[in-house]
Amino acid sequence: MKLGATVWFTGLPCSGKTTISNYLFNILVSSGCKAELLDGDVVRQGISKGLGYSEADRRENIRRIGSVAEQLTRSGLIVLVAAISPYRSARDHLRKSIPNFIEVYINAPLAVCEKRDVKGLYHKARKGELLHFTGVDAPYEPPLNPEVVCNTDREMVEESAMKIYECLRRIRIMGL
């Protein structure tokens, strides 16, 4: 059986991780690929229910998502993971344990992310009503050498998704 891949989307809240991963997921499925999408917000309601937002809980959340992604990748799926994943060391650990790990940095300036925030989470964090919010009072460590960088303040969703699709094709994942 051919290995799949894990495409790990990382970036600030509201940078575009979910939007781009959903768009790419639809492209992959319509191309006949076996794919799965693990969205960080959804995972927190399931396998990570009960975890908070301390550094230890965030690391545990990423470890759990990574464990699922690794199993699905070894089963031949293309796994798209859209999770803030604020700690570089946690992502680097995943890179070592998951075959065909592709890190995608969804890069958007903080001001752009705040303008996109339809839930008002940045506003609540700035007022002190929401603690440990990544980018406000909790750190985000951008990747040093991601396979793909999507600058979502300057790129359309389609353009960003196609950059990732082309990366998958270059490394010959699932016959793309």
97 counts as catalytic: no
Residue 5 above 90 pLDDT? yes
User: CATH number, domain at 72?
Assistant: 3.40.50.300
Is 8 exposed, middle or buried (CB count within 10 Å of its CB: 0-12, 13-18, 19+)? buried
Band (153; pLDDT cuts 50, 70, 90) = very high
Residue 152, domain member (yes or no): yes
pLDDT of residue 11: 98
Catalytic residue among 15, 21, 48, 85: 85
pLDDT band, residue 34 (cuts 50/70/90): very high
Look at the chain and report how many structural domains it folds into. Answer: 1
Q: Is residue 98 part of a domain?
A: yes
Whether the predicted pLDDT of 67 surpasses 80: yes
d(CA 94, CA 91): 5
Say which residues have a Cβ less than 8 Å from residue 171's Cβ, sequence separation at least 6: 5, 100, 102
Does residue 175 fall inside a structural domain? Answer: no
Residue 13 belongs to some domain of the structure: yes
Q: What tens digit of pLDDT does each residue of 80-93 get?
A: 999 999 999 999 99
- Whether residue 26 is contained in a domain is answered as yes
For residue 67, what are the domain limits? 5-170
176 inside domain: no
Q: What is the mean pLDDT of the chain?
A: 93
Q: Where are the alpha helices (DSSP H) in the chain?
A: 17-30, 40-43, 55-74, 88-97, 110-116, 121-126, 157-170
| pLDDT tops 90 at residue 54 | no
- pLDDT reading at 136 higher than 90: yes
Angle at 24 between CA 77 and CA 34, to 5 degrees: 20
- Read off the tokens for 168: 């998958």
- DSSP 3-state assignment of 26? helix
